[in-house]
């Protein structure tokens, strides 16, 4: 493995992160929070020059990264980002404990949105801005990871993404990672500008609009408001956030296609159709459960149901209501949505719609084999046959995901937590959702967990975010022997 090259990439990443710390410093100036500026300046003046020096010293060391180096780099990136990003929280004294600060920052960069804060609005605006910015930066990282890097590494069915743009056509995303990244970030930036503008039209300040846009597009869920998006009574604002949460849960390659005017590719995309169908069905079912019980109007029921369905399905975790108090069937539907997740190549977490579609198709195919044992029944996605080894890979992924869920629930339960809290905490962290039911409901926090559970969950958020294998492969003997 080319450790120098890995460290060079990490140095660039750290430079980027401390570079972005200039943003909360600007916010601090605006809001007169001069006390927190030092908390941001320290990592900038310590980490910045060190990383730059390392890059300069190793400037002649070139080469290419092997697949194995790729795995190590991805995991180290998120660890380094969370460690560096946590520094201002600790130094400012607002989250003095290292455990809590690391948890909160890992939750940010993994776009989970689980928080240990119990009095969010008590924090300085600049720190909350940084907290939301970690989402936005993490979301950027995830898009590049899932669209450009994981297909190359061949993780958990992401080979599908390679197959998605077949043939030597202009349609194909450029194979060069840096160029792919630029296109995707351009789209991400465009959506950011669009949502921020719309939220400001809806009456939000630039600060509120930006932080909520960060949380939305990264499917993160951090809000500087204690009541989350529920802070804003405006139906317009709630609907804008709903639409952009949904947009963030779509494969970003499709936006690229959209820009090229390739509407047919989108209409043929199985995942986006199922994704929208699941959203629509869940919204109607939940609204049906809410109507007449939680809300009086049909429109109101649909709006609250749609918001929460989009929030959980895309693994954002925003709330406009305390859904843990909703009628039982609405809760169970949301709980079921926690198993689904966004689309592959989006900022959404979870198992992902495409994997679930593939396995359901595989399940139904088995029935065809029972009637025609010698028949050949392929699984089709986007009008194309999916290779058997990809289905294999997806089955292995989903099963490991479920196994990790159960293990995590048991670990959480050792802290004396009930079944609902234990399992939804597992789902909400491994799936990068944030809130759940029980003691981690939408109006609760992760503050009460003992330190060992917070550290464990920090790792689980990272494992879930990096599609499990990327992290777990590092602890196999074969990886270090190979």
Residues that bind a second copy (CB under 8 A): 67-68, 71, 153-156, 327-329, 331-333, 335-336, 339, 359-360, 362-373, 388, 391-393, 395-400, 402-403, 406, 409-410, 412-414, 416-420, 422-423, 437, 469, 472-473, 476, 478-479, 482
Contact 343, 354 (CB under 8 A): yes
Q: Which is nearer to a second copy, 254 or 473 (CB)?
A: 473
What phi and psi values does residue 381 have, to the nearest 5 degrees? -135, 140
Smaller CB distance to a second copy: residue 101 or 398? 398
CB of residue 31 to a second copy, shortest distance in Å: 41
Helix axes 235-248, 206-217, angle to 10 degrees: 40
In whole angstroms, the minimum distance from the beta carbon of 399 to a second copy comes to: 4
Written as six digits, the tokens of 2 are 């080319």
Three-class SS of residue 172?
A: coil
The beta strands (E) that lie in 109-235 are given as: none
Length of the chain: 482
Q: For a second copy, give the closer residue by CB, 192 or 424.
A: 424
In terms of Cα–Cα distance, which of 390, 346, 112 is closest to 248?
Answer: 346
**In the complex, least distance from residue 242 CB atom to a second copy, rounded to whole angstroms:** 22
Q: What's the min distance (Å) between Cβ of 326 and a second copy?
A: 11
> Which is nearer to a second copy, 9 or 468 (by Cβ)?
468
The answer to whether 397 and 390 are in contact (CB under 8 A) is no
Alpha-carbon dihedral angle through residues 148, 151, 155, 159, given to the nearest 10 degrees: 150
> Is 85 in contact with 28 (CB distance < 8 Å)?
no
Nearer to a second copy, 3 or 328 (CB): 328
Q: How far is the CB of 451 from a second copy (least distance, A)?
A: 18
Q: H-helix or E-strand containing 450?
A: none
CB of 379 to a second copy, least distance (A): 10
Q: Burial level of 416, CB count in 10 A (0-12/13-18/19+)?
A: exposed
Give 256 or 288: the residue with its C-beta nearer to a second copy. Answer: 288
- Rounded Cα–Cα distance for residues 348 and 358 (Å): 18
Least separation in angstroms between CB 228 and a second copy: 21
Q: Phi and psi at residue 384, in whole multiples of 5°?
A: -125, 150
In the complex, minimum distance from the CB of residue 442 to a second copy, in angstroms, rounded to a whole number: 14
Query: The tokens of 299 are what?
Result: 């429109």
Cβ 325 to a second copy shortest distance, Å: 12
Beta bridge partners of 310: none
Strand, coil or helix: what is 377?
coil
CA atoms within a 13 Å half-sphere pointing along the CA-CB vector of 76 = 18
Nearer to a second copy, 57 or 329 (CB): 329
Residue 435: C-alpha distances to residues 199, 317, 361, 425, 431 (Å)? 23, 6, 30, 8, 11
Q: How far apart are CA 245 and CA 279, in angstroms?
A: 11
Nearer to a second copy, 266 or 459 (CB): 459
CA distances from 193 to 138, 189, 196, 200, 232 (A): 17, 6, 5, 11, 20
Give whichever of 98 and 472 is closer to a second copy, judged by the CB atom: 472
CB of 434 to a second copy, least distance (A): 18
Q: Which is nearer to a second copy, 200 or 459 (CB)?
A: 459
Q: Which residues are 295's β-sheet partners?
A: 291
Q: Which of residues 29 and 399 has its CB atom nearest to a second copy in the complex?
A: 399
| Shortest distance, position 67 Cβ to a second copy, whole Å | 7
The position carrying tokens 């130094």 is: 91
């Amino acid at each position: 493995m080319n450790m120098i090259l890995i460290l060079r990439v990490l140095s660039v990443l750290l430079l980027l992160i401390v570079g972005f710390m200039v943003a909360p410093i600007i916010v601090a100036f605006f809001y007169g929070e001069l006390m927190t500026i030092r908390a941001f300046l320290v990592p900038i003046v310590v980490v910045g020059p060190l990383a730059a020096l390392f890059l300069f010293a190793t400037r002649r060391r070139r080469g290419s990264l092997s697949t194995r180096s790729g795995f190590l780099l991805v995991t180290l990136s998120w660890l380094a980002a969370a460690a560096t990003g946590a520094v201002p929280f600790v130094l400012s004294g607002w989250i003095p404990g290292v455990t809590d600060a690391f948890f909160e920052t890992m939750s940010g960069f993994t776009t989970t949105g689980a928080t240990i804060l119990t009095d969010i609005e008590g924090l300085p605006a600049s720190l909350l801005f940084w907290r939301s910015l970690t989402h936005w930066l993490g979301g950027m990282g995830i898009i590049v990871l899932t669209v450009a890097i994981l297909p190359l590494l061949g993780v958990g069915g992401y080979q599908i993404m390679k197959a998605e743009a077949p043939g030597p056509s202009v349609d194909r995303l450029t194979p060069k990672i840096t160029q792919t990244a630029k296109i995707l970030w351009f789209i991400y930036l465009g959506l950011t500008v669009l949502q921020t503008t719309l939220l400001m039209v809806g009456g939000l300040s630039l600060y509120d609009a930006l932080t909520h846009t960060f949380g939305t597009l990264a499917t993160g869920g951090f809000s500087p408001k204690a009541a989350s998006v529920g802070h804003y009574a405006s139906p317009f604002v709630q609907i804008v956030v709903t639409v952009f949460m949904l947009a963030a849960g779509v494969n970003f390659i499709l936006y690229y296609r959209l820009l090229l005017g390739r509407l047919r590719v989108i209409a043929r995309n199985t995942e986006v159709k199922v994704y929208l169908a699941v959203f629509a069905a869940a919204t109607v079912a939940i609204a049906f459960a809410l109507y007449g019980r939680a809300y009086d109007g049909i429109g109101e029921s649909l709006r609250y149901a749609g918001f929460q369905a989009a929030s959980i399905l895309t693994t954002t975790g925003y709330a406009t209501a305390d859904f843990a108090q909703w009628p039982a069937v609405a809760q169970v539907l949301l709980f079921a949505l926690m198993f689904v997740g966004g689309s592959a190549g989006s900022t959404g977490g979870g198992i992902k719609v495409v994997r679930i579609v593939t396995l359901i198709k595989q399940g139904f195919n088995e029935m065809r084999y029972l009637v025609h044992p010698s028949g050949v029944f392929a699984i089709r996605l986007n009008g194309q046959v999916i290779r058997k080894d990809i289905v294999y890979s997806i089955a292995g992924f989903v099963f490991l995901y479920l196994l990790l869920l159960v293990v995590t629930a048991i670990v959480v339960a050792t802290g004396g937590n009930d079944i609902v809290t234990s399992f939804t905490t597992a789902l909400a962290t491994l799936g990068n959702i944030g809130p759940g039911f029980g003691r981690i409901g939408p109006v609760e926090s992760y503050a009460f967990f003992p330190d060992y559970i917070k550290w464990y969950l920090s790792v689980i958020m990272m494992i879930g975010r990096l599609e499990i294998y990327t992290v777990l492969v590092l602890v196999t003997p074969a990886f270090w022997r190979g």
